[in-house]
Amino acid sequence: MKDLQAPYPVSEAEQGFFRERGYIKLKNVLPPELIDRYRNEITRVVLERNPLLQKPMSERTTYEKAFVQVTNLWRQNEVVREFVFSEKLAGIAAQLMGVRGVRLYHDQALYKEPSGGITPWHADQYYWPLSNPNTCTVWVPLQATPLPLGPLAFSSRSHTVEIGRGLAISDESEQLIQESLAAQNFEYDEGPFDLGEVSYHYGWTFHRAGPNVSDIPRAVMTIIYMEDGIKVTDLTREEHHADRDAFLPGTKTGDPAATEMNPLLYRT
């Protein structure tokens, strides 16, 4: 618990890198023994809660092949709740975005099975009915993640463009966003993650992941943060309705995104 709550000062250079490029990777944020403890419990919840594991890979869609997904683990397991409520991880998010406080939007385990396919290019905030871009995700690998496991990769500075923001995760998004990003010569950052290394990316930063060609699952836990005071926007697409109902229950356009599902995790 001390390692989850201890302050983690973010330098001005790191803040500048994040805001300019839309993402950052930080080494040695969490110690290996802490990750071991929480990986076991997170994995247990994933195995209990996701029926996709019973579906053959050959029968899945591109989205289903990308990862096994379980959300709101913090409401299902007290040990996982400790991890999701980490003041250290939330404090890093607030410092990187330059905001006074952050609330939880939701958590999400993303396990890419052996022979799991690519995660196509996309921007997460396509799904989120939130009023400003002060949102970000921490991506926490629960094991060292070399290239064969399919680590997260980023298009540097892509949070500054709007082309492709209307595309959900799909074969179409992989092709069209790739073409758009290549045309603008954005740097592609694909690299392994050491154990204890994490990444943060803005909600509008385009990212993808390669396939898992190893013989072990790629286990990842993510936490999505939003600025304290952010509002719920008009629900302009079907995915907005689904996310509002799942993560912002009872809210309407213009309301603060601050339900019982969205606890304040950090404030300066």
265 part of a folded domain: no
What total of structural domains would you count in the chain? 1
Q: Choose among 153, 90, 167: nearest CA to 123.
A: 167
- Look up residue 242 and give its two tokens: 């689904």
CB atoms within 10 A of CB 94: 22
25 part of a folded domain: yes
Q: Choose among 124, 121, 122, 123: nearest CA to 108.
A: 124
268 part of a folded domain: no
267 part of a folded domain: no
Q: Return the SS3 of 181.
A: helix
- Look up residue 265 and give its two tokens: 């995790």
CATH code (residue 62): 2.60.120.620
Element of type H or E holding 32: helix 32-49
124 part of a folded domain: yes
264 part of a folded domain: no
Distance between terminal CA atoms of the chain?
20
176 part of a folded domain: yes
266 part of a folded domain: no
Query: pLDDT truncated to tens, each residue of the chain (268 aa)?
Result: 789 999 999 999 999 999 999 999 999 999 999 999 999 999 999 988 876 566 666 777 776 666 789 999 999 999 999 999 999 999 999 999 999 999 999 999 999 998 889 999 999 999 999 999 999 999 999 999 999 999 999 999 999 999 899 999 898 999 999 999 999 999 999 999 999 999 999 999 999 999 999 999 999 999 999 999 999 999 999 999 999 999 999 999 999 999 999 999 999 9
Domain holding 86, by residue range, is 2-259
